Structure 1
Amino acid sequence: MAFEYPGEGALDYFPCRYGPSKLLFRGPRRDLTEPYLAAFGGGETYGKFVENPWPSLVEAKLGLPVINFGYLNAGIDVFFNEPAVLGASRRAKLTVIQLMGAHNMSNRFYSVHPRRNDRFLKASNQLRSLFPEVDFAEFNFTRHLLSVLHERAPERFGAITAELRTAWVARMSSFLERMGGRKVLLWLGEYRDPSVHDPLGPEPLLLDEGLVAQISGFADVLVKVQPSVAARTTGVAGMIFGPMEELAASTMPGPVVHREIAEAITPVLARML
């Protein structure tokens, strides 16, 4: 994969594993026997195309290691049954969990790849019954699947939205209960250019105040960061990527967004420490 084997001009993310886990996180590999903070999340935490993502910036401000357990294309399913993740969280002084969208997770309508959660694997009989006219063999990614279904029949798409939201609350609640330790939820709002219109809604997909309120009690603190318009309109400025990666880079938060996240969350973590 591109992020494991960077091409010329791309960042070296020093991918590494912890314990017996098959998951490759952003390195270099850190010592889990010393005091540290843990940061879990998707590509926004991993910091693809960004030399110093927000976990690194927080580490510099606090003077305490912040281990980056961000995982590209992750939904909650990546972490839910991963013993290395749960163990690392329980040993951490504090754990930050980025809230990821509800679309990249297995549910009653479809299943996703256990590690590449953005990959659509199979439609259930329920989904086939709901959309009998659709050939699901043409889909490889969850977002493409949902975009097409939403466009084809908005009145039927509501059933999928309801299922994803219900499944997200149940899985997030269970995951946070199992993690143990002190936890901070990071809700990163829409970071794309305001001119970009997505019919499925803003990032993180399908989350809103009511939904997040249902799981916020399982953590010590909720920090919501809504990137400024200035941060959202910087394009790929300051990002590092190889040939043919500019389009992919434009879909990810840039260095200014990462700085705003670090500025918002560092004081909270400092008080808790």
Structure 2
Amino acid sequence: MTYEKQGAAALDYFPCRYAGSKHSFRGPRSQLDGDYVAFLGGTDTYGRFIPRPFPALVGDRLGLTCANLGWMNAGADAFLNDPGVLAAARGARAVVLQVPGAQNMSNRYYAVHPRRNDRFVEASFLMRRVFPGTDFTEFHFTRHLLSTLAQDAPERFAILVAELQFAWVARISELIRQIERPVLLLWFADHAPRDASGMDHVGADPLFVTPEMIAALKPAPVEVIDATVSPAALARGTEGMVFSEIEAPAASEVMGPAAHAEAAERIIAHLADVLALQG
């Protein structure tokens, strides 16, 4: 692994902005006036602690501009609420959308911050009815909220999970519809897509997402890319990452460069076919 002392030179993300968006993205800034592929996703797409995340690796191999429009902990709401991102996606030849978890978006039970989607904002009247006696002022992040509810009220928690899954299908379908370009859905996780069993707790991302939910998307993505990380890549952990000692716990929770390299190879195989069909 690679450590950088706190306060010393660390990984430069070259933060940049795109027209119509208030958010800062990872750079260098891509030129969006020609052929390019847009990458939408969360922390892994952004590539925190990763010198060359998979959007950059794909661009290197294909010799094509790959605009990294990922940001930390983003859910569907982050993109649907950002006109600049939607405009950039609509101008792309194709869009690679990393599958987000179902927890970081507003729904009938709770609201999240419109840009920082992992931030819990408030519980709805319905949420307070289903979980009476819960002091929601104690929660600031969706994972903390859901972990507590899963432990304290498992039967009622299942009702909440069903709502999140229903909302996810609706919201991702709307995002694909608004993009209006070929969308390749990327499953980038330490486990393969699995059914609804084991949804009674807060596990690994993409949280609560099942193959049935992906199959229910309308319009459907043109491709679903399974980039489940291999045991060999997972075993390499934080090797090749750049982070300070204080950031080590956070670095251990994201995919490492070996996983990004695997994802890039799988994306390239599918993306090359989609681009070739466009002529």
TM above 0.5: yes
Contact map agreement 2:176 2:219 (CA 8 A) in 1:
no
Does residue 205 in structure 1 map to residue 204 in structure 2?
Answer: no
Gaps of 5+ in 1: 1-5, 192-197
* Shift in Å, 1:73: 1.2
Aligned to 2:269: 267
Give the equivalent residue in structure 2 for 1:195.
Answer: none
Q: State the shift of 1:86 in Å.
A: 1.4
Report what 2:152 is aligned to: 152
User: Any residues of structure 2 matched to 1:84-163 within 5 Å, and which?
Assistant: 84-163=84-163
- Between the two proteins, what is the percent identity of the paired residues? 48
Matched, 1:178 2:174: no
Distance 1:261 1:235 in 2: 15
Alignment of structure 1 residues 1-273 onto 2, 5 Å? 7-190=7-190, 199-215=201-217, 217-273=219-275
Misfit runs of 4+, over 4 Å = none
Assess if the C-alpha contact under 8 Å between 1:107 and 1:167 holds in 2. Answer: yes
Check conservation: 1:10, 1:49, Cα contact below 8 A. Answer: no
CA distance in 1, matches of 2:265, 2:190: 17
Structure 1 pair 188–45 and aligned structure 2 pair: CA distance change class (3 A) = same
Deviation at 1:231, TM superposition (A): 1.4
Shift in Å at residue 201 of structure 1? 2.9
2: distance between equivalents of 1:190 and 1:109? 28
Cα separation, partners in 2 of 1:216 and 1:55, compared to 1, 3 Å: farther
**1:104: how far off?**
0.3
Q: Which amino acid aligns with 2:129?
A: S
Distance 1:91 1:264 in 2: 23
d(CA) in 1 for partners of 2:204, 2:8: 33
Between the aligned partners of 1:18 and 1:118, the Cα distance in structure 2 is 22
TM-superposed CA distance for 1:20, in Å, is 2.8
Instruction: Tell me, in whole angstroms, the C-alpha distance in 2 between the residues paired with 1:202 and 1:209.
Output: 15
Partners of 2:13 and 2:87 lie apart in 1 by 23
- TM-score w.r.t. structure 1 length? 0.92
Q: Determine helix, strand or coil for the equivalent of 1:223.
A: strand
Mapped to 1, the partners of 2:123 and 2:112 lie a distance apart of: 9
| C-alpha deviation, 1:183, in angstroms | 1.4
* C-alpha contact 2:49 2:241 (8 A) present in aligned 1: yes
TM-score normalized by the length of structure 2: 0.90
My pick for the range that moved more, 152-161 or 127-136, is 127-136
Q: Look up the equivalent residue of 1:265 and give its one-letter code.
A: I
Deviation digits for residues 94-148 of structure 1 (CA, Å, limit 9, x no counterpart):
1111110000000011100111100001011111111112111111100000000
Instruction: Give the root-mean-square deviation of aligned CA atoms.
Output: 1.5
Partner of 2:196: none
Letter in 2 for 1:80: L
The offset of 1:188, in angstroms, is 1.5
